[in-house]
Chains A and B, each alone.
Chain A
């Protein structure tokens, strides 16, 4: 039973355009959300996070949006660069256990 779902296994975007990665969750106890980026043969690295009390957090080219009523968050990358090509994992923290639940990942390919 996946509590955090990334329904798009892959996404291709042209360089310079916007990349939008989506994540849905089912547990209303989640209070903190993160995005991690993973290159081949490396571990995931933290990218950006958002608290459940906010609806937007921006860091340079990366913006995360949270829609609590829809239990949906998205990561926007603008403009997309070839170096952004990686697997992106969405993660959510359970406010009761403080455990992080990860999604299955979305592979982003930015085409030059």
Chain B
């Protein structure tokens, strides 16, 4: 298996622009997670899905952030409008089931908002 796939790997955008991050989980995994990594807060869980349904989005920082999972093999995290403080590395992870199994992480998307 190719593992969790994320695109793009790097994104540089200007403040106010819309940013869309993409994730393809491992086939057969039922749970998908979006994390943000910063120096100050480490890895923060933003939102997770179970069987394509959003279960907990309490980690989403603001209404500017939204996430969708239209099917079992694809998810997006959108930031609109983006701000410089959104600059971070965003990871997608998947697992066989929520909370029970280890999570497999993608390589991350490094987002820079200028």
Interface string of B43-80 (1 = CB under 8 A from A): 11100100000001000000000000000000000000
Q: Is the CB of A100 within 8 A of B45?
A: yes
Residue ID in chain A nearest B41 by CB atoms: A104
Total number of A residues with any Cβ neighbor in B under 8 Å: 24
A-contacting residues, B19-62, CB 8 Å: 35, 39-45, 48, 56
Residue ID in chain A nearest B91 by CB atoms: A43
State A42–B108 Cα separation when bound (angstroms): 7
Q: Which of A14-22, A44-52, A53-61, A66-74 contacts B (4 or more CB under 8 A)?
A: A44-52
Tell me which residues across on chain A come within 8 A of B56, comparing CB atoms.
97, 99
| Known contacts A43-B105, A45-B105; A104/B45 CB under 8 A | no
State A98–B48 Cα separation when bound (angstroms): 11
Q: Is the CB of A46 within 8 A of B103?
A: yes
State A81–B87 Cα separation when bound (angstroms): 33
State A45–B108 Cα separation when bound (angstroms): 12
Tell me which residues across on chain B come within 8 A of A4, comparing CB atoms.
42
| Known contacts A43-B4, A44-B91, A97-B56; A89/B99 CB under 8 A | no
Residue ID in chain B nearest A103 by CB atoms: B42
Tell me which residues across on chain B come within 8 A of A91, comparing CB atoms.
43
Q: Is the CB of A104 within 8 A of B39?
A: yes
Residue ID in chain A nearest B10 by CB atoms: A41
Tell me which residues across on chain B come within 8 A of A93, comparing CB atoms.
99
Partner of A98, one of B39, B99, B107, B108: B99
Q: List 7 A-B contacts (CB under 8 A).
A: A6-B42, A43-B107, A98-B99, A99-B45, A99-B56, A102-B35, A102-B44
Interface residues of chain A, those whose CB is within 8 Å of chain B, are: 2, 4, 6, 34, 36, 41-46, 49, 89, 91, 93, 97-105
